[in-house]
């Protein structure tokens, strides 16, 4: 424990000095995993500081995963993992962390950092900080200026005719689904969902005790035949870029689905989570735009096309639902930062949003093309590439019998991180489909990644 | 409609020129209330622009309340009200808006704009925008750095011994109560609440079908006798500064309440919403800090002591609840901006938070003193002032028989806005108590406000 007896100076807070010292010992490998640290009391005596000071230092180290606390035993060193790896592990699927160095991480749900319009965003954000509205509680439904901008944007980009009154701002798709689940609960007790489909939506419906009807996804999207055989009057669907298969539901099926909702007096929840990125044709109009008064609740998000950290999403309610929805939640404050909402409104108003989307579409199109070409050239008939026309990832289906987990481990051992898809399936069948995202990788990294996968998989 | 035929130039977007032109006509009183505007189609023809352009301009005007749209009839001019008045009307109680000019608005829940540390916050925020974490989804429980800062702060300021693992970040007290309602639903079906008490909490419990037991608030806070007579095992309470009466629950009653929770195997939800502002004594330690392992869920917020627009609150779970809570919500993303979370962590780390709180306490203490002295000198025995030792508002109880609504209208007609309290009561008894907040008023405005109230009420 000799190293811990550091010299405290008066320049920075004492807890911070202790924290930084211990952290650097761990990072440099001088304190090994499972080493017991001096107790809070011991360390306080050694360093002539208060117990609070040592407690705070240790707590910060625990929070960051450098050390762990075991009840009645004390504090112990944890294995050190670089931060971005930790992050990625936390986000997707909690894979074992045996790998020591990741060269290429095909993580989906990331953002191209190089292309992010940081300057314009910072400018808008600093301008908004001068506005009086930051000192107030915001409008329950969301910033009127943002809702107004969104209604213009949705008309231009998705053909959706809506008014700002129909738009509800939320912090995420999941948060909006939480409210919808409460709202629809009195009339509906079950919901049909795509299989495979977005696990994050299923979680919310299950938290609210909905019975789930998993419906198969085929080449034309969700199977309408299967849907009609259930007694569900509610369906959650990603028709424009099915998650995760990337399938687009054709217009005749969309019309049939709209008729189904009308006949059932039910509702379709259309999640249009990454409508912005379609590379080979014009974007297909949203389901909600096909028919005036359609029984569709439309969801969109800024998490994929912009950044997830501002937590900004929105939904468009059909006009028959607005009054009852607003009434039910009239006592509930808006939970999304009004600073970010107004910043996004200014960002859109000044044209930054449209040029950002145009730029990202070109950037991501090039990356998608590179990834698909490399995969085809390298693996040919041995794999099937799914969903290459849109979105920020592809799925690859393997023709052989190797299991998902084994392929992931083989890739990992060559420094490449690829992701499973089994978590998107409700039912537990045997299939081997992996997910490769590319949004935050450079063209060179994508090429290197596929090369390494070739060495890893050797088939 | 002659004025509408404006000359469009090429400098700014066309919809914006139309929007600004119509807006200024309304603001200047040139277009009167209920005037019918040209239809979207007509205006598009007149101005040689697309229908989308005119639609967008009109929609923005609708969103901001300048015009209204009537189905199948067209667009009509609405009465113009200055923005900050609109805001205040929207936030509290939807009073009739007949008043033309408010000179002094005793609105609670506002922030002293003069004293806000805008520079320091902007600096921290701009630094955070350089960090990689803004491109990722954040930790489900909340930013580890913020949770670590909060655990130190709660120890210093409220005597709460906690670890970052016990802290859950949320966007507001209501949002955290939404999660808690779902979480506790399987074990509890009713909850005791203070009467009068925070209506925003009741709303959430009712949305989740809890049966409410309203419990009277006396000079020692919530009546424990009444609580013990219910079959509820769950109580929501504001013991340090009861909302809205300002009563502090004494230590013996706190200990009795803790024993009650233990005996019932129940839980106390302690909402410590404005613990930062206590003027006459040291802050009283939080309920949760009185006993290790107390069956208390502790809630705090940055909305009152900082600003509501960043939407940042937190709760501390007792250790027995952490694992099941984290498990139940493991599939749910954090809904609070990770940019704001990290900015607040840096703001606290660099000492700005502590100095902000110290400064605000002095500022608000002076304002509270001014308000109370003016009210006493002006109205003497005719009113009773409640809750002047802490918080950002006082209640005044009238000894006469005039009704709440009448007093509010009399004040309004003299340009002063004061607020009702009947919405905080579950039961519908006759009482006359008004609420006067002062946080965003200057000393001079407070003095003027009381003078005007004297003229208004004349008793």
Q: For the segment A363-413, what is each residue's pLDDT rounded down to a tens digit?
A: 999 999 999 999 999 999 999 999 998 899 999 999 878 888 999 999 999
Q: What is the mean pLDDT of residues A310-336?
A: 96
**CB atoms B60 and A175 under 8 Å:** no
- A338 chain-B contacts, CB cut-off 8 A: 309, 311
Query: What is the pLDDT of chain B when averaged over all its residues?
Result: 88
Q: Which of A64, A113, A178 lies at the smallest CB-CB distance from B144?
A: A64
**How far A343 CA sits from the closest chain B CA (Å)?**
12
* pLDDT tens for each residue of B253-283: 999 999 999 999 999 999 999 888 888 766 6
Rounded Cα gap, residues A350 and A110, in angstroms: 25
Q: What percent of chain A has pLDDT over 70?
A: 91
Q: What is the mean pLDDT of residues B449-458?
A: 94
**Residues 6+ away with beta carbon under 8 Å from A286:** A154, A158, A159, A160, A240, A270, A272, A275, A298
Q: Is the omega angle on the peptide bond into residue B244 within 30 degrees of 0, that is, cis?
A: yes
- Work out the average pLDDT over A315-327: 96
Task: Please say whether the beta carbons of B124 and B343 come within 8 A.
Answer: yes
Residue B262, C-beta contacts closer than 8 angstroms, at least 6 positions apart: B295
> What pairs with residue B75 in β-bridges?
B69
* pLDDT for the residue A115: 87
Strands (E), A198-312: 211-218, 221-222, 234-237, 267-271, 296-301
The mean pLDDT of B51-63, rounded to a whole number, is: 80
List pLDDT tens digits, range B68-96.
888 778 888 886 544 333 333 333 333 34
Shortest alpha-carbon distance between residue B56 and chain A (Å): 6
Report the C-alpha gap between A389 and A353 in whole angstroms: 22
Residue B165 CA to residue B313 CA, distance in Å, equals: 16
B294-307, pLDDT tens digit by residue?
999 999 999 999 99
Mutate to test the interface with A, among B149, B170, B310, B335 (most CBs of A within 10 A): B335
**Residue A157 main-chain phi, psi, to 5 deg:** -90, -30
Which residues are CB-neighbours of B323 under 8 A, at least 6 positions away? none
Contact between residue A395 and residue A404 where contact means Cβ atoms under 8 Å apart: no
Chain B residues closer than 8 Å to A164 by CB: 59-60, 62-63
Taken in order of first residue, the domains within chain A and their CATH numbers are 14-77 (1.10.10.10), 98-113+357-456 (3.90.1150.10), 118-350 (3.40.640.10)
Chain centroid to CA B406: 25
Q: Least CB-CB distance to B164: which of A63, A178, A338?
A: A63
Q: What is the DSSP string of A187-208?
A: T-SEEEEEES--HHHHHHHHHT
- Could you report the predicted ipTM of this complex, rounded to two decimals? 0.78
A391 close to A108: Cβ distance less than 8 angstroms: no
User: Span B216-238, mean pLDDT?
Assistant: 96
As a whole number of angstroms, the distance between CA A327 and CA A267 comes to: 19
Is A283's pLDDT higher than 80?
no
| pLDDT tens track for A252-272 | 999 999 999 999 999 999 999
- Give A-chain residues touching B129 at CB under 8 angstroms: 118, 121-122, 125
- Residues of chain B with C-beta less than 8 angstroms from the C-beta of A185: none
**Residues of A whose CB is below 8 A from B337:** 171, 309-311, 337, 340
pLDDT above 70: residue A85: no
Whole-angstrom distance, CA of residue A417 vs CA of residue A429: 23
Residue B389 pLDDT more than 90? Answer: no
B173, pLDDT greater than 70: yes
| Cβ neighbours of residue B289 closer than 8 Å, sequence gap 6 or more | B158, B159, B160, B161
Q: Considering only CA atoms, which of B422, B300, B343, B273 is closest in space to residue B130?
A: B343
**Which of A348-352, B288-292, B401-405 is least confident?**
B401-405
pLDDT in tens, B196-208: 999 999 999 999 9
Beta carbons of B63 and A174 less than 8 Å apart: no
Digit-coded pLDDT (tens) for B308-365? 999 999 999 999 999 999 999 999 999 999 999 999 999 999 999 999 999 999 999 9
Residues in A 171-210 with any Cβ partner in B closer than 8 A: 171-172, 174-175, 178, 182, 199-200, 203-204, 207-208
Query: Where on the phi/psi map is residue A24: left (φ > 0), alpha (ψ -120 to 50), or beta?
Result: alpha
Q: What is the average pLDDT across A115-142?
A: 93
pLDDT classification of B22: cutoffs 50, 70, 90: confident
**Residue showing tokens 């910043």:** A343
Q: How many CB pairs under 8 A join A and B?
A: 205
pLDDT tens-digit map of B368-384 = 999 999 999 999 999 99
Q: Quick check: A423 contacting B, CB < 8 Å?
A: no
Residue A18 reports pLDDT greater than 90: no
| pLDDT score of A83 | 39
Q: B309 and A199: CB-CB below 8 Å?
A: no
**pLDDT recorded at residue A397:** 93
Q: Which tokens hold the place of B388?
A: 């002047």
Q: Could you tell me what percent of chain B has a pLDDT over 90?
A: 65
Mean predicted confidence (pLDDT) in A338-354 = 96
Q: What percent of chain A has pLDDT over 90?
A: 64
B320 touches chain A (CB under 8 A): no
């Amino acid at each position: 424990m000799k190293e811990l007896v550091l010299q405290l100076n008066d320049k920075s807070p004492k807890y911070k000095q202790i924290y930084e010292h211990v952290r650097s010992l761990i990072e440099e490998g001088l304190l090994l995993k499972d080493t017991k640290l001096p107790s809070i009391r011991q360390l306080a005596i050694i360093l002539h500081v208060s117990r609070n000071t040592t407690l705070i230092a240790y707590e910060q180290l625990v929070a960051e995963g450098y050390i762990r606390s075991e009840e009645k035993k004390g504090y112990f060193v944890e294995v050190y993992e670089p931060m971005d790896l930790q992050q990625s592990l936390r986000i997707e699927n909690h894979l074992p962390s045996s790998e020591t160095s990741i060269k290429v991480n095909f993580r989906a749900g990331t953002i191209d950092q190089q292309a992010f319009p940081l300057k314009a965003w910072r400018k808008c954000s600093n301008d908004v900080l001068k506005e009086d509205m930051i000192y107030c509680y915001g409008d329950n439904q969301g910033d009127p200026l943002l809702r107004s901008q969104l209604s213009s944007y949705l008309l231009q980009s998705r053909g959706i005719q809506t008014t700002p009154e129909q738009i509800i701002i939320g912090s995420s798709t999941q948060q909006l689904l939480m409210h919808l689940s409460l709202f629809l609960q009195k009339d509906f007790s079950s919901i049909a969902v795509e299989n495979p489909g977005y696990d994050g939506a299923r979680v919310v419906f299950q938290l609210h005790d909905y019975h789930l009807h998993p419906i198969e996804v085929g080449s034309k999207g969700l199977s309408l035949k299967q849907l009609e055989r259930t007694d569900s009057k509610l369906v959650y669907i990603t028709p424009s870029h099915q998650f995760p298969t990337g399938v687009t539901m054709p217009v005749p099926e969309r019309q049939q689905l709209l008729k189904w909702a009308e006949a059932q007096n039910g509702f379709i929840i259309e999640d249009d989570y990454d409508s912005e990125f379609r590379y080979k044709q014009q974007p297909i109009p949203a389901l909600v735009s096909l028919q005036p008064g359609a029984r569709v609740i439309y969801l969109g998000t800024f998490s994929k096309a912009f950044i997830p950290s501002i937590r900004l999403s929105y939904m468009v309610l059909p006009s028959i639902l607005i009054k009852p929805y607003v009434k039910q939640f009239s006592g509930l404050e808006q939970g999304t930062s009004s600073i970010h909402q107004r910043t996004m409104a200014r960002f859109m108003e000044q044209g930054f949003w449209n040029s950002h989307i145009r730029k990202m579409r070109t950037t991501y199109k090039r990356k998608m093309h590179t990834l698909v070409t490399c995969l085809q050239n390298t693996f040919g008939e041995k794999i099937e590439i799914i969903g290459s026309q849109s979105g920020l990832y592809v799925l690859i289906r393997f023709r052989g019998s190797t299991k998902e987990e084994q392929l992931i481990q083989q890739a990992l051992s060559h420094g490449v991180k690829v992701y499973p898809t089994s978590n998107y399936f409700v039912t537990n069948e045997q299939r081997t489909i992996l997910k490769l995202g590319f949004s935050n990788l450079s063209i060179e990294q994508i090429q290197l990644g596929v090369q390494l996968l070739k060495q890893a998989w050797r088939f």
